[in-house]
Structure 1
Amino acid sequence: MPLRRQSSDSAAVTSYVWATGGRHLWASGGSSSRQSHDRGHLVYAASGVLTVHVDRGTSVVPSNRIAWTPAGTPHRHRAHGDTDMRILFLPPSLARRIPDRPAVFLATDLAREVFRALTGPRDDVATPAYGPAARIRLLRVLVDELSEAHEQPLHLPEPLDDRLRAIANALSERPDDDASAAELGRMAGASARTVSRLVRTELGMTFYEWRTQLRIAHALVLLAEGHDVTATAHACGWSNPSSFIAAFTNVIGTTPGRYQAGGRRPVARVDEAATGSRRRPRTRA
């Protein structure tokens, strides 16, 4: 059975905000209002897990990822676990070097340190620690790092087809359900072949890759809320923890135990290191 997830839109938040960015310390379950900005922005969770919700999908942002939201995109943020959210607005000259759609990038060691430096490493910081010229130089370094890091498979697109939406809702409500594509298709009024075609056409992946990503997203939230690895594995549909650990590491780049303990250094993956290409998870959930 799924584990209960914490939820409280009125959870307390402590904010430090300035014109070029800010820092928000959310209690678990905290959520921002729906909003948009005239500049694109990057968000990073120094601790906890963020989800960034836009009209066409959700980006999951654990502490080894950085999410991008383009200018003018309606969105809202939600914290899972006590979350230290950092935000940086980019000038148009740098924003044009990032995709014009929501995206998630690996947070390299250098990117994390730049992000922390520009958003205040101390709890009592209320103003930026760098002048305008220094900030631009550091932002250029950050954007360079993101350009080299490539996109990560943690932006979950919202299906357009009503049948896929029904399946997505079912998978989100019961990530531990092992129903096949054919069984879920019958529930939604589509054949297994149609489900596979729709997932490939709309979402750019296979049904099994999609379900794995949905399950990993759910697992990140549960781990952030303090559930142990074994309970999280079972709640997200893996029959044994070792299979879950393998799938989690394949997508996130570190084991769930190391991730939960705060160890953010990714595990090396030979094909990415050699080719620099984006890799889709292969584990069948």
Structure 2
Amino acid sequence: MPETRQPQDTPSGAGRLPHGFHLDHHSHRQGQLVYAAAGALATTTERGTWVAPANRVTWTPPGFQHAHRFYGDTDVRLVAVPESLCGELVAHPSVFAVGPLLREVLLALTDRPETRAGAHDRLRTVLIDELAETPEQSLHLPEPRDDRLRAVTDVLHADPGRNTTLAGLGRLTGASERTLSRLFHLELGMSFHRWRTMLRIHHGLIHLTGGRSVTETATACGWSNPTSFIEAFTEVVGQTPGRYQARLR
């Protein structure tokens, strides 16, 4: 059970965090945008985990319990969003694509001090306008509440590369394939295959950020060949694994 903490003031600013750095569950009075200008981060709430590589920014509305874990040498940027502006964005944690203008605004808000009164407020307005027009691109991995389904997802979390079929996982956990398939759709809103693909993409992002090659990452995450991994990664992340690694460098 996550530790419950009182809402805190939302920090803003920039800093470098080492690979594996973890912030325990907490919440903020204001909304918070977290952007990894280099590296990647995972944000976890009771609704699941969102992963954000360097072409995504995470959004957490006020009051949501959440935790962060950072991967690679992360150049992390934190932007507080006043409650008065939070209604312009979605009311649940999410991830948005970061285009050139959005990236420059995030960097400007966290890189340089405010030299003219109201400058940061004006930049925040541009930021909200951009996000309000940007479709969600959530690398979201929902987590189950049902004990039977959780038993299956726990097995896969422990070994994302495991290629056991859903029927085989059912035999391990004491549930039928039909029941598990129904629960994946009913509770998680996706098929077993899609959920496992998202889990593997999450781990693939972490491996690539840590410096593993595309081939090594494909094997570690359970793909039969690098081509299958590249196709799945590109469909979910919006760029090839090689391009993603090149941008990290």
1:211 aligns with 2:196: yes
Match of 1:221 among 206, 230, 240: 206
Secondary structure of the equivalent of 2:101? helix
Among 254, 259, 272, the alignment partner of 2:239 is 254
2:157 is aligned with 1:172: yes
Taking the aligned partners of 2:11 and 2:105, their CA distance within structure 1 comes to 14
CA distance in 2, matches of 1:132, 1:58: 38
Out of 32, 56, 60, the residue aligned to residue 65 of structure 1 is 56
Equivalent-residue separation in structure 2 for 1:205 and 1:147 (angstroms):
26
Q: Which 5+ residue runs of structure 1 have no aligned equivalent?
A: 1-17, 265-285
Alignment partner for residue 88 of structure 1, among 79, 103, 106? 79
SS in 2 for 1:32: strand
Q: Write out per-residue CA displacement over residues 58-95 of structure 1, whole angstroms, 9 at most, x where no aligned residue.
A: 11111011111111122221111110111111112221
1: CA distance, partners of 2:116 / 2:62:
24
Query: 1:105 and 2:93 equivalent?
Result: no
Question: Deviation at 1:25?
Answer: 0.8
Q: Hey, what's the Cα distance between the residues in 1 that align with 2:168 and 2:117?
A: 57
Cα shift at 1:24: 2.6
Residue 22 in structure 1 maps to residue 13 in structure 2 = yes
Deviates more, 1:142-151 or 1:208-217: 142-151
User: Structure 1 residue 131: deviation in Å?
Assistant: 4.4
Q: Residue 184 of structure 1 is aligned with which of 166, 169, 172?
A: 169
For the pair 1:75 / 2:75, whether they are aligned, the reply is no
CA offsets, 1:223-243, max 9 Å, x none? 111111100000011111111
User: % of aligned pairs identical?
Assistant: 51
Q: Do the aligned partners of residues 87 and 40 (structure 1) sit closer, same or farther apart at CA in structure 2, a change above 3 Å counting?
A: same
**Equivalent residues of 1:87, 1:119 under 8 A apart:** yes
How many matched pairs?
Answer: 241
3-state DSSP class of the match of 1:34? Answer: strand
Q: Does 1:42 align with 2:33?
A: yes
Check the 8 A contact 1:153/1:251 in 2, yes or no. no
Distance 1:100 1:132 in 2: 30
For 2:216, the equivalent position in structure 1 comes to 231
Match of 1:151 among 122, 136, 151: 136
Residue 19 of structure 1: CA displacement?
7.0
Cα–Cα, structure 1 residues 38 and 178, in superposed 2: closer, same or farther, change >3 Å? Answer: same
CA distance in 1, matches of 2:182, 2:15: 41
Relative to structure 1, the CA distance from residue 19 to residue 243 in structure 2 (aligned partners, 3 Å threshold; closer, same or farther) is closer
Aligned to 1:201: 186
SS in 2 for 1:254: coil
Per-residue deviation, residues 85-121 of structure 1 (Å, max 9, x unmatched): 111111122211222211111112211111111110x
2:50 touches 2:138 (CA, 8 Å); kept in 1? no
Aligned mates of 2:232, 2:187 — CA distance in 1: 23
Return the letter of the residue paired with 1:254: Q
Residues 117, 129 of structure 1: 8 Å contact kept: no
Match for residue 147 of structure 2 among 154, 157, 162:
162
After TM superposition, the score normalised by the length of structure 1 is 0.79
User: Once superposed, what is the RMSD of the aligned Cα atoms?
Assistant: 1.9
Distance 1:132 1:66, change over 3 A: farther
Query: 1:20 & 1:162 partners in 2: Cα distance?
Result: 36
- Give yes or no for contact 1:106–1:151 (8 Å, CA) kept in 2: yes
**CA distance in structure 2 between the partners assigned to 1:85 and 1:187 by the alignment:** 40
Question: CA separation in 2, counterparts of 1:148 and 1:109?
Answer: 14
